[in-house]
Amino acid sequence: KETFEGHQVLRIVPKNELQLALLKNLEEIVEFELDVWMGVTGVSYPVDVRVPPHTLETFKSYLDSHDLEYSTMIEDVQAILDMEREQMKSAARLVQPRN
Amino acid sequence: TDSFDYANYHTLSEIYSFQDMLVAENPNLVSKIVIGQSYEGRPLNVLKFSTGGSNRPAIWIDTGIHSREWVTQASGLWFAKKIVTDYGKDSALTAILNNMDIFLEIATNPDGYYFTHTSNRMWRKTRKPNPGNSCYGVDPNRNWDAGFGLPGASTNPCSETYHGPSAHSESEVKSIVDFVKSHGNIKTFISIHSYSQMLLYPCGYTTTPVKDQAELHSLAEKAITDLASLYGTRYRYGSIINVIYQASGSTVDWTYEQGIKYSYTFELRDTGSYGFLLPAKQIIPTAEETWLALMALMDHTYKNPY
C-alpha cells in the first residue's frame, strides 16, 4: 500500500502573468514529482500541489527563487489519510449488520 | 437504505450493495442498468429513476470519474436517496420525474475507486496498463472525442492528465458513449468532480464560445446562486477554458457536441484545508448544497424542452 508520510500540499498563489506561466509548466518538471491537485486558473487564484518529502526542499527553493508565494495547506498527507481511515473504521463499527 | 450512513465514506462493495438495496426498496421507481464493465471487470452500474414511459427525455448525472474525489461518490449516494425520498413530496422533482428519467452513475471509475481504498488513496485515473510503459491508467476526463489530444491533456502515460492512446480507449468512457448514443434522448448531462467550487460548461479545448453560451451562463448563475443560498458556498462559473484552463477531450465537450445542450461539470466544495480529502462531516453539507444546483439545472431542462 502506498503511503504518503511527509508529503506536503503547498498552496501557491501567482501574483502576475509571469508567475502564472511558470506554474502552468510545473507538471512538466518531472524531477519534482508533483501531483497537481488544483491546477492553474488565473492570477490570484491558488494552485495546490502535493510534493513528496525528497523533493520538498528543492521545490521550495524553486518557488523562492521565482518569488512565488506559498503556504503549507497540508503538513503531512498521511496524517490526514490515517484520520480518514480511522473515521471509516469507527463508522463501520457503529453500523453492525442486524441479525 | 434508511439506516445507511450517508455521513461517511464507503467502499465500492458498500456502494454496490446500496444500489441493490435502493432498487429492492423502490422497484417502481428505481432500476439498475449495467452499461458495461471496467477494465478490471467490475460492473458499470447506473441507477435509473423512472416513473414509466419509454425513452423519455432524460437527465444524466455521474460522480467519481476521478476516483480519489471521494466526496463526489458520497454525494451521489445521497442524491440517490434524496430522489426516492422527495419523489411525491417535492413538487418540482415530482414534475420532473413524471416527465423525464434520471440516470445516476455513482461509481463511474470503479477500478480507480477500489484502488484508492486498497493501494493508493491519491489515485485519479483508470487502471488499464499502458503497453510499453510502467505507468498505469488514463485520465478519463481527457479521453473523450472532443478536441482529443489537443493541448490541455498530456501525451505522457505517467501524467495525471494522460489522454490515452485514442479517444474512448477506456471502457469506463466508451460505455457512457455507447449508452448516450443508444439512448438518444438525454437532454442534460452533469459530470461531478471535486474540488475548487466551480460550475462549468463547454468548451475546454477552444475559446470559441458555444452556440448556447448565453443560456448556459445564465442557468449556471441561477444554479450557483441556489447552491449558495444554503451555506454561502461561493462558486465560480463559466466555460471550462475561461474559468480553469485549456482541457482537451473532456466529458461535457463531447456531450455538448452530441447535441446535449445542458452539459455541465461541477467542481464541488473545498473547505480550504484538505483539498479533495474532505472530512466525512463535509459530505452531507456538500451534497445538500449541490442538490439545490442540480435541481435548478434539472428544473430548467424540464421547463425548456428542446
Q: Which residue has the cell 486498497?
A: B118
Among residues B215, B219, B173, the alpha carbon closest in space to that of B199 is found at B219
Q: Which residue has the cell 483539498?
A: B275
Q: Count CB-CB contacts under 10 A for residue B217.
A: 15
Q: Do B275 and A74 touch (CB under 8 A)?
A: yes
Residue in A38, A88, A95 closest to B196 by CB? A38
Res A97 pLDDT > 60: no
- Phi (first) and psi of residue A49, to 5 degrees: -135, 140
Q: Do A36 and B119 touch (CB under 8 A)?
A: no
**Own/partner long-range contacts of B153-156 (Cβ < 8 Å, ≥24 apart):** B153/B247, B153/B248, B153/B249, B154/A27
Chain B contacts of A4, Cβ < 8 Å?
Answer: 121-122
- Phi (first) and psi of residue B264, to 5 degrees: -135, 155
Chain B contacts of A77, Cβ < 8 Å?
Answer: 277
Is residue B172 among the annotated active site residues? no
* ipTM for the whole complex: 0.92
Res B300 pLDDT > 60: yes
Q: Are B205 and B250 contacting, i.e. CB atoms less than 8 angstroms apart? A: yes
Residue in B160, B196, B273 closest to A73 by CB? B273
* Range with the poorest average pLDDT among A51-65, B207-221, B259-273: B259-273
pLDDT digits (tens, 9 = 90+) for B158-189: 999 999 999 999 999 999 999 999 999 999 99
Interface mutation vs chain B, best among A88, A90, A94, A98, most B CBs within 10 Å: A88
Strands, E, within chain B: which ranges? 30-37, 43-49, 58-63, 101-105, 186-194, 198-201, 236-239, 262-268
Residue A15 identity (one-letter amino acid):
K
Average pLDDT score over chain B: 96
Confidence of residue B86 (pLDDT cuts 50, 70, 90): very high
pLDDT digits (tens, 9 = 90+) for B230-286: 999 999 999 998 888 788 999 999 999 999 999 999 999 987 678 899 999 999 999
Q: In this complex, how many residue pairs, one in chain A and one in chain B, have their CB atoms less than 8 Å apart?
A: 66
Chain B contacts of A50, Cβ < 8 Å?
Answer: 122
Q: Do A74 and B279 touch (CB under 8 A)?
A: no
Chain B contacts of A35, Cβ < 8 Å?
Answer: 122, 160
Among residues B171, B180, B187, B207, the alpha carbon closest in space to that of B40 is found at B171
Q: Sign of dihedral through CA atoms B276, B46, B44, B148?
A: negative
Residue in B3, B5, B160 closest to A91 by CB? B5
Q: Which residue has the cell 443508444?
A: B182
Residue in B154, B159, B275 closest to A37 by CB? B275
Q: Where are the alpha helices (DSSP H) in B149-282?
A: 171-183, 213-231, 240-243, 251-257
Distance of CA B225 to the CA centre of its chain: 20
Gap between the Cα atoms of A50 and B182, Å rounded: 41
Interface mutation vs chain A, best among B21, B73, B122, most A CBs within 10 Å: B122
Determine the residue of chain B that is closest to A47 in CA distance.
Answer: B196
Among residues A55, A68, A46, A52, the alpha carbon closest in space to that of A5 is found at A52
CA distances to A51, B153, B264, B290 from B198, in Å = 25, 20, 10, 11
pLDDT digits (tens, 9 = 90+) for B91-125: 999 999 999 999 999 999 999 999 999 999 999 99
Q: Which of B257, B267, B288, B289 is catalytic?
A: B267
Residue in A36, A77, A84 closest to B160 by CB? A36
Chain B contacts of A36, Cβ < 8 Å?
Answer: 160
Q: Do B273 and A9 touch (CB under 8 A)?
A: no
Q: Do B120 and A94 touch (CB under 8 A)?
A: no
Gap between the Cα atoms of B167 and B147, Å rounded: 9
Determine the residue of chain A that is closest to B281 in CA distance.
Answer: A87
